[in-house]
Chains A and B, each alone.
Chain A
Amino acid sequence: MGKVAIIGVGQSAFVRQYPGSIRELAFEGFKDAMKDAQITTKDIGASVVCSAPEYDKQRSPAGVFAEYMGLNPQPTFYVESLCSSSSTGVRLAYSLVESGLHDVVAVIGFQKMSEISSAETQERMGRGADIQWESPFGTMMPAYYAMYARAHMEKYGTTPDDLSLIRVKASTYGQLNEKAVYRKPVTSEMLSDPENRMAGPVSSPLRVGDCCANADGSSCIIVANEEKAKAFCKKPVWIMGVGAATASVNLTGRDLFTGLKAATQAADQAYKMAGITAKDVDVAEVHDCFTIAEMMAYENLGFAEPGEGKELIQSKETYKEGSIPVNVDGGLLSKGHPIGATGGSQIRTIVLQLRDEAGDIQVKDPQIGLVHNIGGVGIYGNVTVLGR
């Protein structure tokens, strides 16, 4: 099996309302990654475009982007797994390159959520669940994750204050990330002060401060085979393991509500393929669409035993100086969550860490990094292990 590398990473700033069209938004991430890789469009054998549908009106965005990026006549296509679309794109690029079909593949993730209102966004996200049997009850993403939070609190004694600590950590690093949408500090006091907007109820027990910010944004990851990676790139980062699993969309098909089974299964696969265990991971990006999601990720990835995620954040072990730094770029909570761009942005952060190019948020000498990217409420679990 040939080795597969990431030779370029890029993203746009994640912003509340991007002042341009989706092709222009996507171009920002693409241009950033192309400059990083120092290659030309002629070097790219195929492109994969990733987003969740129905935020903008463009059907089949892959064709439009290939034209705008100058990637005709190379093949292009669209993949989707809700919030993990661009991790799925990278998984696909890995297989296209590893199979020998293409030497270099660009994975372009994007989402322009501001084309619709916040309530419409909740409706769209809710329709990422079971529209036939669940959506008619008025479901939305925060409510589903809140059901997991409720079950976690009941079983393990996790408290809203424990969840606040995760939000505080995210804001610590969001303030340092110039591409983050939310750059203000958040304190535990804000989340426990009923007068504060951050403490406002969304869906019990989750509060405004427990939820990530919607954003417009794009990301791009350029994947290459070993020969091209060595020719083009001084510091290729190798894809050591890719894991992916699914779970029942309708909650009636599940038996665990204190963690995401698809995340655990994806992690097991990725660890096995990379020949590592959770202890070998030096830096991680996890899918913190809600504070409870990061708490469950600690446990599902094996950074903590089930129910002990709260001790990990209480002791600040997931801060930059801790034993397993997590989301030191601000995470989805502060950086923002432009659905289709998120996985690529997470991978970008880990690649920069492994190249020692992460600036203010650089973790000391990491050798192995991990990306955990979830689509829907644990419907699609994706874990990618990267190494120097």
Chain B
Amino acid sequence: MGKKEADIRLNKFGTVSFAATTKVNDFIDYLEKDKVAGTKCKDCGLAFFPPRADCCQCLSDNTEWFEVSGTGKLVTYSKLKFAPVGFDQDLPYAIALLDYGDYKVFGRISGEIPDDDIKIGMEMKTVANRLPNEQLNYIFQKP
């Protein structure tokens, strides 16, 4: 029997990825199609972002994809002036959390938004993004 090729799509996620294989690797396919997606448990209805293959509420692995759409409220953020190894070329950048009600999204604020325009509580949308090194992530923009 031939060896099955490993599914390492998650290697594409972020400036530097730290994991290659997950059961929710389709997340990368959605990013390629300019979509940001989470999963929802088909048995109990719980929504997950980031996506999960397994539901911790009812132990089901019967999940479906949903697209992160509309806007979320900026919960909090911080702008980094010093970066961990591998992220120097991205500086400065801001990490942040958006609250969509049923779920939250952790990511980066678009570098095009001036510091003075960033306010806790503001509405922002989550947008798929291609990084200069051809990796994929998503960023928060003004709606």
Residues of A whose CB lies within 8 Å of any CB of B are 117, 119-120, 122-123, 126-127, 131-140, 142-144, 146-151, 154, 200-206, 250-253, 257
Contact = CB atoms under 8 A, between A and B. Distances in A.
B96 to A, nearest CB: 8
B83 interface: yes
A148 B76 contact: yes
A150 B95 contact: no
Interface string B97-108: 100000111111
Given A126-B84, A257-B76, A252 B50 contact: yes
A140 B104 CA distance: 19
Contacts of B120: 150-151, 154
B122 to A, nearest CB: 12
Given A134-B106, A251-B104, 19 more contacts: A131-B19, A136-B13, A136-B14, A136-B17, A136-B18, A136-B137, A138-B95, A143-B95, A144-B78, A147-B97, A148-B76, A150-B76, A202-B81, A202-B82, A206-B78, A250-B106, A252-B106, A253-B104, A257-B75
A18 B104 CA distance: 43
Nearest to B75: A257
Contacts, number: 113
B92 to A, nearest CB: 9
Nearest to B131: A136
Contacts of A132: 10, 18-19, 22, 50
A136 B15 contact: yes
B80 A140 contact: yes
Interface in B1-38: 10, 13-19, 22
B81 A137 contact: no
B84 A138 contact: yes
A108 B120 CA distance: 43
A154 B84 contact: no
B13 A252 contact: no
Contacts of A148: 76
Given A138-B90, A252-B49, A154 B105 contact: no
